[in-house]
Structures are given as structure tokens and as C-alpha cells.
Amino acid sequence: MDVIIQHNPLPKVEEILALQIRMSESVRHAVKEVESFKHECLELDRKVDTLASLLKQAARFSITNPAGLYESPTRQIAMEVEKTLERALGLVKKCRRSGMLKRVITITNVSDFRKVNLYLDNSIANVQYLLNISASGEDRPIHMGLPPIASNEPVLSIVWDNVSIVHVGNAEEKTQGASYLAELAKDSRNASIICEQGGVPPLLRLLREGTPAGQEEAARALGYLAADRRRVLRMRKEGAITFFLEILVHGPMKVQAMVCWAISQFCANDLEAQVEIASAGGIRLLVFLLGHDNVDDLSKTTKAMNIHTVVKTTMTNQKNASGSCREQPDQEGEPGPDSDFESYSNSLSRITPKPNAIHNNSRNISAKSTSLENGKSSLQSSSLRITSQNSRDNEDPETKAKLKAEAARALWKLAQNNIQNSKSITDTRALLCFARLIQFDENDVQYNCVMAVMEIAGAAEHDAELRRAAFKTNSPAAKAVLDQLLRVIENGHPELQVPCLTAMGSLARIFPAAARVIPPITEALASQDVAVAAEASHTLYKFANKENYLHVDHSRTILESNGALYLVALLHYLDMFTQTSALNLLCCLSINVPESNLLAQAGVLKALESMTRTAVLSQNIELKNNVMDAIAKLELYQSGSHGNSSTKGTYVP
């Protein structure tokens, strides 16, 4: 028989405070019965009375104030108060006995009272600090100092101060508190303290209900907190991803940009977050934000993607996945009615956990907040009007560029090591958007788009279905992307050339014989940047490797583009990775077309023989065997009259 283990829930804050108050009354009652150390006991009684008064204030505040007490410090301080009251009660009970002999037996002295009085002073200061950080407006002191409970961990006090500000402060104070938490969260240890002390729920509430400035700072703080997988898991359990999607639907542009960055942080550090965001419709929302104002220029035959289509398709796909709907989704590009968008907003709100006060534990947020207020629909309509297309068009270019850069970064991280997400991205018109932005934009926008294409191409390398569907030769989107990758390889910055070359290598199997992409890649072998040259040789290796069906034809094209001369020059580099990449490619060329006069003219045989005495081959047995095979092939075909021909570009049978 299975044994069901039930975990008792933690007592409520009100129950804990009531217990402390009863304990303080017990101490005061015991003081009335003491027969020794009466003066010391009266002093102790006075401090217990002060502590009881503060505990009653805290209990009233917790019941009457909607925000309540800050739960994390309340529980920690209550534990210390309980220990102190237990010490005080035990000491007072010892003083009930009279007579010198009993006093000696109990071993009670004045130093015991000094210790308990010190504990009471600390408890009084801690409870007063708790009341101070829970107050708002004019009742909140400007300088609160360091509570005794945090004397060994000053960061704890700083975190409590700022989390409480985000919880109970006014709009400006909440923004400042979230900004301070974001700066603290850059350090991993501080970020862990923020999560452990209940800092996530108030940040999520600020993200949903705050001013645009407050929302932006809250998203920034959540993004820094997401640098660790365990913290991402905690935030996901508290509904962070659903909050993010709400912002992507109807948030201000600056906030959307910061949320896109936070999403990229989630995906970079948690593979499960990639799946959750994609299944919730995040990919289509990000693609819309990426290209909502330039899609018309990319395709004249289709209408610009709008948020209604994104939402409607997402809802239909989710219904199909759950078996509740068997109808096919609408064609991409057809705008849906306004009701579809509103219904999606309502569905997001229904599944969004509404952040409660900090005193509510995060475990209750996702379980209890499942209903909407009566005024929610009108509030959403107001949000939609504020973020209408006209207002978005009037945003400054810097904000628009920031949003595109972060949307591209989020798509990049969603596609990273995830074939299914890469398929979902290519099912949209993201490739066309990437091509356009790589062509005209620079800096972060261009770089993030290139990295996203690189990840999608990497997924296509390992998935034939994705490769055929997204990068088929007659696809306008694929052609546009490949044209831009080639342009960057020829004239781009080395930081961009390397991922473009990587993407080309991943797609090596899609190109026909005598492909036009090979000459520009071969020219990259002569780059002054070592990383570009090494990556170019590694990319061409995927063209010339025997796993590529057209490896012989590609090898000839590489040689006709002076590839052998460039590769021999690369062998003189001191960088071992560059030498290894060049050797691998030279071996493939020598084995595939050993009869080529271009190999003889470049002195490949002599170069390979000289490399047999280097440390590169001594550390790589497989490469050493390939080099020996290539030398044997060249010796066979370049002996006698075959090696004397000087006709450039001809092949001797």
C-alpha cells in the first residue's frame, strides 16, 4: 500500500505573532511570582512589555493593512524572538525559588540577566525594524539602520529594505527599489539572497501593474536574477513567463525590449524555459515585434503580420495540441477580429498568477490566483489603446532599435540547441525579418540576427526535415538570408563573419555543385583575422568532407578559388586550431581530387610531409592517419608526367 506523506503548511504570520504575544504574557505573569533577583526580573519585565507592545502593533498591521508584513524577515525575526522569550521565561522560573541553597543549586547570577536583556534589546530592535520596513509613505523612516539580526550579513538588510520598497512604496520609490535590486542581482550571491527573501513576487507585481519606468526596472532585475537555472525555475513556478507574454502583447515598447532581454536570459540558462515560452506562443509574438514595421518591404504578396494573427494562430495551435479543436489554423498574414486578441489577453490573465503581498508565500501565487477582476477587460482595452500602432510609430528610433535587438536576441536563445523551436521560428516569417535587419542594421540588431540564423542553421544541420523545409533552394526567405550571410562574409566585421561562416558550414548539404557560396568563403581563408580564417577552413571542410554527397565537386570549386594556396599559408600559423582546420581540409582536397595540378602548384605534398614532424599530428592520431592517406594519394598521382603539367585549372585523369 502506498504511503501518502502530507506536508504540514507553514503557520500564518498572524498565528506566529499571536504565539509570541502569549509567550510574552507568560513571562510577565511569571515575573510576579519571583522570590529572588526581583530587581533584575523587573527590568526584564519592562523590556518584555516593550517587546509585547511592538508585537501587538505588528499583529494589528498584518491584519488591517492590505499589504501586510514582509513575510521573509517576519518569520526570521519571529524565530529569534521566540528563542529570546524562551530564555527569559526559563530564567524567571528559576527565580521563583527562595533561599541561598536553592539559588546556588539553580546557578543563577546577574550575568544571566545581562545576556537575556541583550537578547531582548536585539529582539526589540528587530521588531521595530520590521515595522519600519513594512510602513509606507510618511510613516516610513528615511534611515533605518542595520538590524541586529542582519549584523553578520549586511546585504540581507539592504535586500529587505529594497524589496519592501518595491512592495509598499509609491510609484517612484518602487522604481528606485527595483533598480537597486537589479544592480544587486548582478552578483550571483546577492541574486540568490533576493530570491530566497521573497523578492520575486513584488517584482512580478510591479512588472504587471507598475508605471512604464517601474516595469522596465522590474524586468531588468528579473533578467539578472535569471543568470542561474535554479533561480529561473523558481521564477517560472511563480508565473514569470506568463507575465512576460502579457507585456509582449500590450506593454510599452521600452518595457517590451527589457522583457525580451529577460526572456533571452531565461532561455540561455534553462532549456525548460525555452519549451514553456515556445508552447505559450512567445515565438510568434517575438517575430511580430522583430518585424512589425518592415515586413511590407520584404514581401509584397503577403500582408504585414499583426498581433491578431499571432494570437489567433497561437490559440488554435494550443487547442489542437490539447485535442480540444480539430480545425486547422488560419493562414499566416490574415488579420483576425479584435475579439481574438481580447480573448487571448483574457486567457493570459486567467492563467496569470496575480502576485499577492510579500507575506504570501510564492507557493500560493500560482495556485490561488486564477480569476479576473470585473474591471480587467476595460483595463486591458485601455492598455491596447495606449500602445496603438500610431503611438508605436512615434517612438524614437533608439527605442525601436533596442526592441528589435532584444527580440532577435530572445529568438536566438530560443533556437539555441533546440530543433523544435528552430522549426517554429522558420514557420513564421522570421527569416525574412532577419535578412532585412542584417542588411540595413548594425551593432546589436545585426549581430543578434546573425546569431539567431546561425543557431537555426545549426539545428537544420542535424535535422533533414528542417533543412528541406526552411532552406530549400527555391525559398525566397532562404535565398534572402544566404545572400546577406555571403555579403557579411565578404565585407563584414570579423565578429560577424565567424557566425556567418558557421551558418554556411551547417547548411553545406543544401548547395549544388559549383555553388556560388564557395569562392567568397575560400577568400575568407586569406583573412588577417585568425578566427575568421580558421572558421572558413572548418566551414569548407563540411563542403569537402565525404559525408557531403557533392564533396568531389565542391573540392574542385575550392581549388579553383585558390583554396590550396591559402591553406598552405595557414599551416604556418602558430595557432593549433587553425593548423588542424587547415590540415583537415587539405586532406579532404587531396583525397577527393589528388589528380589536380592546383595541389601540385601550391606545394601541398611538401607541406603535408613537413607537418608530419609537428606536435599537431602527434596529439591527433585520426588526423595523422588522414595526412598519411593524403600523402599516399598525392605521391601516386603527382609522380612522372602528372606532376610536370603547368596548366592552371585543368585536371589530369
CATH hierarchy code of domain 511-643: 1.25.10.10
Statement: residue 341 has pLDDT above 70: no
Mean pLDDT of 283-302: 66
Q: Are 42 and 91 in contact (CB under 8 A)?
A: no
Alpha helices, DSSP H, located in 471-596 = 476-491, 494-506, 518-523, 530-544, 551-560, 563-570, 576-592
pLDDT digits (tens, 9 = 90+) for 381-412: 444 444 446 666 677 889 999 999 999 999 99
pLDDT band, very low/low/confident/very high, at 70 (cuts 50, 70, 90): confident
pLDDT at 303: 37
Residue 651, SS3 per DSSP = strand
Statement: residue 373 has pLDDT above 50: no
Statement: residue 322 has pLDDT above 70: no
Q: Read off the pTM.
A: 0.80
pLDDT at 295: 38
* Architecture label for domain 154-366+394-411: Alpha Horseshoe (1.25)
Mean pLDDT of 458-469: 94
pLDDT at 101: 47
pLDDT digits (tens, 9 = 90+) for 225-235: 999 999 999 99
pLDDT at 97: 62
pLDDT at 351: 40
Statement: residue 625 has pLDDT above 60: yes
pLDDT at 106: 57
Q: Which of 200-204, 263-267, 312-316, 433-437 has the lowest mean pLDDT?
A: 312-316
Residue 651: strand pairing partners? 596
Residues 6 or more apart whose CB falls under 8 angstroms from that of 117 comprise 43, 44, 47
Statement: residue 375 has pLDDT above 70: no
Residues 6 or more apart whose CB falls under 8 angstroms from that of 567 comprise 525, 537, 582, 585, 586, 589, 602, 604
pLDDT at 33: 83
pLDDT at 311: 41
pLDDT band, very low/low/confident/very high, at 86 (cuts 50, 70, 90): very high
Statement: residue 183 has pLDDT above 60: yes
pLDDT digits (tens, 9 = 90+) for 29-60: 888 888 788 888 889 999 999 999 999 999 99
Q: How many other CB atoms are there within 10 angstroms of residue 343's CB atom? A: 15
Q: What is the DSSP letter of 375?
A: T
Statement: residue 307 has pLDDT above 50: no
Statement: residue 345 has pLDDT above 50: no
Q: What is the DSSP letter of 149?
A: G
pLDDT at 360: 44
Mean pLDDT of 335-355: 41
pLDDT at 390: 60
Query: Residue 148 is placed in which grid cell?
Result: 541586529
pLDDT digits (tens, 9 = 90+) for 534-561: 999 999 999 999 999 999 999 999 999 9
Q: What percent of the chain has pLDDT over 90?
A: 60
pLDDT digits (tens, 9 = 90+) for 529-538: 999 999 999 9
pLDDT at 143: 67
Statement: residue 25 has pLDDT above 60: yes
Element (H, E) at 285: helix 282-291
pLDDT at 346: 47
Q: Which of 168-172, 218-222, 362-366, 438-442 has the lowest mean pLDDT?
A: 362-366
Query: Residue 192 is placed in which grid cell?
Result: 540568490
Distance CA 594, CA 587 (A): 10
Statement: residue 642 has pLDDT above 60: no
Statement: residue 326 has pLDDT above 50: no
pLDDT digits (tens, 9 = 90+) for 88-129: 998 888 887 655 545 555 566 788 889 999 999 999 999 999
Distance CA 283, CA 410 (A): 9
Q: Which of 8-12, 351-355, 385-389 has the lowest mean pLDDT?
A: 351-355
Mean pLDDT of 604-614: 90
Mean pLDDT of 231-243: 95
Distance CA 357, CA 400 (A): 34
Rounded to the nearest integer, the mean pLDDT of the chain is 81
Statement: residue 3 has pLDDT above 70: no
CATH topology match: 154-366+394-411 vs 511-643: yes
Distance CA 581, CA 577 (A): 6
Query: Residue 518 is placed in which grid cell?
Result: 564557395
Domain residue spans of the chain: 13-150, 154-366+394-411, 511-643
Distances (CA, A) of 531 to 412, 501, 587: 22, 11, 20
Q: How many other CB atoms are there within 10 angstroms of residue 307's CB atom? A: 24
